[in-house]
């Protein structure tokens, strides 16, 4: 299974990617929403997107979540933020929200509930 990790801060993205890989998933990384959309267009095996809210460019993580929900409805979504408060009504239906800082275990458990393994990591 593949998970797309979207964060403009390289060290944060790397740490999150390592946590996701340690949970048994393959990781694709993007530094902004435009890169994330390109990844999703190029790879239909991505099953979940973890995105930060505060990112440069025309689309923040909340707008990205709406775009992904509209275009790729089966993809599971997790929105993350350490700076910006997010009200539930701002997020698309079925999107999870985690405030930073969060534990690696919280990410692993959330991913396992959203993207169950189908015969192990793929």
What tens digit of pLDDT does each residue of 55-112 get?
989 999 999 999 999 999 999 999 998 876 777 888 998 899 998 888 999 999 999 8
- For the chain, first and last CA: distance in Å? 5
Please give the CATH topology (third level) of the domain spanning 2-114: Rossmann fold (3.40.50)
**Which residue, among 106, 116, 91, 119, has the nearest Cα to 3 in the 3D structure?**
116
Confidence of residue 121 (pLDDT cuts 50, 70, 90): very low
Does residue 33 surpass a pLDDT of 80?
Answer: yes
Q: Which two tokens stand for residue 101?
A: 């800082």
CB 62 within 8 A of CB 92: no
Instruction: Specify the pTM.
Output: 0.90
Rounded to whole angstroms, the Cα distance separating 62 from 55 reads: 10
The domain segmentation of the chain, as residue ranges, is 2-114
CB 50 within 8 A of CB 4: yes
């Amino acid at each position: 299974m593949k998970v797309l990790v979207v964060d403009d801060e390289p060290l944060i993205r790397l740490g999150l990617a390592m946590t996701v890989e340690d949970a048994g998933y393959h990781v694709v990384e993007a530094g902004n929403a435009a890169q994330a959309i390109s990844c999703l267009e190029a790879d239909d095996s991505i099953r979940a997107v973890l995105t930060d809210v505060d990112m440069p460019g025309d689309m923040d993580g909340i707008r990205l979540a709406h775009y992904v929900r509209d275009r790729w409805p089966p993809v599971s979504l997790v929105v993350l933020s350490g700076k910006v408060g997010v009200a539930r009504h701002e997020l698309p239906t079925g999107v999870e929200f985690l405030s930073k800082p969060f534990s690696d275990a919280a990410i692993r458990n959330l991913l396992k509930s959203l993207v169950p393994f189908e015969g192990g990591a793929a």
